[in-house]
Amino acid sequence: MKTAIVVFSIIFCTLFYSCIQIKQYPPEPSIAFVNYYSKKDTQDLLGNNAYFGKITVSFLDGDGDIGLEEADTFPPYDTASAFYYNLFVKQVRKKDTVITFKEYNSRMPSITPKGQNKTLQGEIDVFVLITLPFPDSIKYEIRIADRSLHESNTVTTSMYPVY
């Protein structure tokens, strides 16, 4: 009798869990702004005064193909391609009435999960320097691209004062 109950329990659990659907998300990555932090009195590599900034964005990718391997240097990931980088950060600097731009593009390493469910969800920290000449205020526009060349939405931060 005990053996029949154990066998029945195993069969019931197997059938129950096999019916649970894995939640599907679109293959295009999506991002959302989480936080911005800056610190005064930092120095760049040449010893110049600078501000250190950290931007945190959350991401969700349905097919989990975020990031590039070091060997991913052939088309469409070669240096002449727009997809050599997969993290695109534009710094919008405002000084009085003049607006300038600086780009901090980089390559995120591959973080594709193993297993059947490839959905990726997490946070990305982007580190930036605000260098001379210091602007009055600053904001960022951020987007990512996956290996299938799907581009995420663009997140634009608020305009932050630089003291």
* pLDDT tens digits, one per residue of 57-91: 999 998 889 999 999 999 999 999 999 999 999 99
H/E segment holding residue 17:
helix 2-18
Structure tokens at 2: 């005990």
User: What is the predicted pLDDT for the residue at 18?
Assistant: 53
* pLDDT band, very low/low/confident/very high, at 14 (cuts 50, 70, 90): low
Residue 52 pLDDT exceeds 90: no
Residue 19 pLDDT exceeds 70: no
- Overall average pLDDT of the 113-129 stretch: 86
CA 143 vs CA 46, 75, 129, 134: distances in Å: 29, 21, 18, 24
Does the domain at 25-161 match CATH 2.160.20? Answer given as: no
Distance between CA atoms of residues 73 and 14, nearest Å: 44
Is 0.95 surpassed by the pTM of this model? no
Q: Residue 36 in contact with residue 100, Cβ under 8 Å? A: no
Strands 98-103 and 87-95: antiparallel
Strands 160-161 and 137-144: antiparallel
User: What is the predicted pLDDT for the residue at 8?
Assistant: 55
Residue 12 pLDDT exceeds 60: no
Residue pointed to by tokens 């329990």: 9
User: What is the predicted pLDDT for the residue at 150?
Assistant: 95
Structure tokens at 91: 């710094």
Q: Give percent of the chain above pLDDT 90.
A: 58
Could you tell me which residues come within 8 angstroms of residue 124 by beta carbon, excluding any fewer than 6 positions away?
A: 31, 56, 57, 58, 59, 87, 108, 144
* Mean pLDDT estimate for the chain: 86
Residue 11 pLDDT exceeds 70: no
